[in-house]
Structure 1
Amino acid sequence: MFRVAIVALPRCHASGVHGILDFFTVANYCGAPPSGTDESLFDCQVVTVDDQPVRGYSGALVTPTIARNDFQADLIVVGSSVEAAIGAEYLDRALAPAKPIHGWLLDAKARGAVIASVCTGSFVLAEAGLMDDAVATTHWRAAPMFRDRYPDIRLDENQLVVDNGQIICAGGATAFVDLCLYLVERFASPSVALACSKMLVMDGRRQEQTPYMAFYSTKAHQDEAIRKAQGWLEAHYAEPVTIDEVASVAGLGTRTFKRRFKEATGETPISYLQHLRIEAAKHLLESSREQTARIIWSVGYEDASSFRRLFKRTAGCTMEQYRKRFSYVSPAAA
């Protein structure tokens, strides 16, 4: 029997904790031997830092099912803290409750246990020193904060699941489903994982979180000239724009403007403008049935082929595929 410990931290994604527990319970059902014996594939338990119940971000109570030190897990899954994906100002508060288990996680790795994270649980693994030689993924919105805090750790936020062998990371909060499918496939069998997906009426494991990403402009800096340029770009992105023109709006020389813009936002002026245009195109694909060529022109591009390549590279899918997945306007209504 493979022993799984799910770590529930204060203000965690409670449904994720319970969802992992439910998934492994379904795996036990789907993988039950024909003889009908009581032997299960997985012994899955919920643990907390101090063996006491915790409140999830939603206010739901998450109760441990076993004392943490009484259960020697083969696999430990660290759930997410919702606040870690909201903003850097919450990050220290979100990570502080996990400090007492850093040693426990390191000891578990030393004895051969597999350590996995969901969403911003990767921050906990990084804080504990478990990610130094691994590739991480995390919620796409928390990626800039992860890079700032752990500049020496390689991050690939495009991926939903990254397996380093003993360290496994999953992306956004509901990627716990993709992680569970992967773990059942790895530690039980592909046939049991497929049976779980059918039993739970879900598609096979997704590969990327790129299509779900959205661009959030960074304005939490002290450079007022660059903030002024950002506002101007957000109002004029659909028009022909030159960097010299934006630099003039900021009251700076072009070379100085480029340098300060990158320092303040983490983006070049050109990439910032491209992100604004892509987000505008996404909104139109979601909210209208306008022809894609007209959408391209409306966001400031004349070269349709160039924009389509940029869109696919950024969103991980074509404009048509994006509309099919995310549009909330039916053809009949349009």
Structure 2
Amino acid sequence: MLTIAIVAFPNCHASGVHGVMDFFTVANYCGRSPAGRSEPLFNCQVVTVDDQPVRGYSGAVVTPTAKRESLHADLIVVGSSVEAAVGEHRLEQTLAPSRPLHGWLRSALERGAVLASVCTGSFVLAEAGLLDHQVATTHWRAAPLFRRRYPHLRLEEEHLVVDNGQVICAGGATAFVDLCVYLVERFASPAVALACSKMLVLDGRRTEQTPYMAFYSQKAHQDGAIRKAQGWLEQHYAEALTIDDVAAVAGLGPRTFKRRFKDATGETPLGYLQHLRIEAAKHLLESSREQTARIIWSVGYEDASSFRRLFKRTAGCTMEQYRKRFSYVSPVEAHSVAIG
């Protein structure tokens, strides 16, 4: 039997903690022998830093089911702290409760335990030095903050699950489901994982969080000229323009503008403009039934093939696939609006 410790922190994603617990309980059911007499595959417990209940971000209370130090876990799942995904102004406060765990996590790794993080739980592993020379993923919205804080680490936020062998990371909040499927495949069998997916009515395991990513412009910098250019781009992205045009808005020479823009935002001016156009196209795919060719023209591209390649590379799917997955306007509604 594999012993699992799920670590819950203050302001955690409570449903993620309970969801992992539920998934492995279902795995025990699905992994039973036909006679129903086999030993459970997993002993899954919730632990906290001080063995006391914690309150999740939603206000729900998460109660530990075992004392942390006395539980010799084979697998430790580090849950997320929601606030780490929304900004760095409270990051130190968010990470502080996890610091007493660093030694415990390192000791567990040294004795052969597998460590896994969900969402921003990767920050905890990074703070403990457990992602050095590893590949990490995290919630896509927390990726820029992760890179700024740990520039020496390799982050691949487009992936939902990254397995380094003894250290595993999962992406956004509900990626705990994808992580659980993967862990059951690894520690039980693909057959048990498939049975769990059927029992819980889940699709096959996802591999990327790219289609869910949205572009958030970085404006928490002190360069007023670049902020002015960003605001202007956000209003004029659909127009035919050159980088020299934008540099003129900022009152800078082209070379100086490109350097300062990259320093301030982490993006090249062209990359920033492309992100704005892609986000505008996503919004139209979600909210309208407009033809894709017209959407491409409306966001400032004349070369439809070029934009389609850019969209697929950025979003991880075609424009048609994106619309099928995320559109909230049915063809019937769109027809009614057109007639009206």
Deviations for 1:167-212, whole angstroms, at most 9, x for unmatched residues? Answer: 0000000000000000000000000000000000010110100000
Task: Give the drift of 1:34.
Answer: 2.0
Q: 1:308 maps to what in 2?
A: 308
Task: Give the drift of 1:303.
Answer: 0.2
Q: 1:146 maps to what in 2?
A: 146
> TM (normalized to structure 1)?
0.99
Task: Give the drift of 1:88.
Answer: 1.1
**Mapping 1:125-274, distance limit 5 Å:** 125-274=125-274
Larger mean CA deviation between 90-99 and 307-316 belongs to 90-99
**Mapping 1:58-77, distance limit 5 Å:** 58-77=58-77
Q: 1:36 maps to what in 2?
A: 36
Q: 1:124 maps to what in 2?
A: 124
Distance (Å, rounded) in 2 between the aligned partners of 1:49 and 1:88: 23
Deviations for 1:129-160, whole angstroms, at most 9, x for unmatched residues? Answer: 11002100000010011111111110000000
> TM (normalized to structure 2)?
0.98
Distance (Å, rounded) in 2 between the aligned partners of 1:315 and 1:89: 28
One-letter amino acid of the structure 1 residue matched with residue 233 of structure 2: L
Task: Give the drift of 1:38.
Answer: 5.6
- Secondary structure at 2:22 match in 1: helix
Distance (Å, rounded) in 1 between the aligned partners of 2:289 and 2:38: 55
- Secondary structure at 2:11 match in 1: coil
Deviations for 1:230-270, whole angstroms, at most 9, x for unmatched residues? Answer: 00000000000111111110011111101100000000000
- Secondary structure at 1:203 match in 2: coil
One-letter amino acid of the structure 2 residue matched with residue 326 of structure 1: F
Distance (Å, rounded) in 1 between the aligned partners of 2:169 and 2:113: 15
Structure 1 vs Structure 2 CA RMSD: 0.6
- Secondary structure at 1:9 match in 2: coil
Distance (Å, rounded) in 1 between the aligned partners of 2:166 and 2:26: 24
Q: Which runs of 5+ in 2 are unaligned?
A: 335-340
Q: 2:3 maps to what in 1?
A: 3
Distance (Å, rounded) in 2 between the aligned partners of 1:172 and 1:132: 21
Distance (Å, rounded) in 2 between the aligned partners of 1:36 and 1:243: 68
User: Percent identity between the aligned chains?
Assistant: 81
Moved over 6 A (4+): none
Task: Give the drift of 1:35.
Answer: 2.5
Distance (Å, rounded) in 2 between the aligned partners of 1:33 and 1:53: 35
**Mapping 1:76-115, distance limit 5 Å:** 76-115=76-115
Distance (Å, rounded) in 1 between the aligned partners of 2:293 and 2:36: 59
Q: 2:337 maps to what in 1?
A: none
**Mapping 1:13-24, distance limit 5 Å:** 13-24=13-24
One-letter amino acid of the structure 2 residue matched with residue 203 of structure 1: D
Report the number of matched residues. Answer: 334
Distance (Å, rounded) in 1 between the aligned partners of 2:115 and 2:322: 34
- Secondary structure at 2:333 match in 1: coil
Distance (Å, rounded) in 1 between the aligned partners of 2:38 and 2:94: 40
Distance (Å, rounded) in 2 between the aligned partners of 1:35 and 1:332: 51
Distance (Å, rounded) in 2 between the aligned partners of 1:297 and 1:174: 35
One-letter amino acid of the structure 1 residue matched with residue 278 of structure 2: I
Task: Give the drift of 1:70.
Answer: 1.2
- Secondary structure at 2:174 match in 1: helix
Q: 1:289 maps to what in 2?
A: 289
Distance (Å, rounded) in 1 between the aligned partners of 2:4 and 2:35: 24
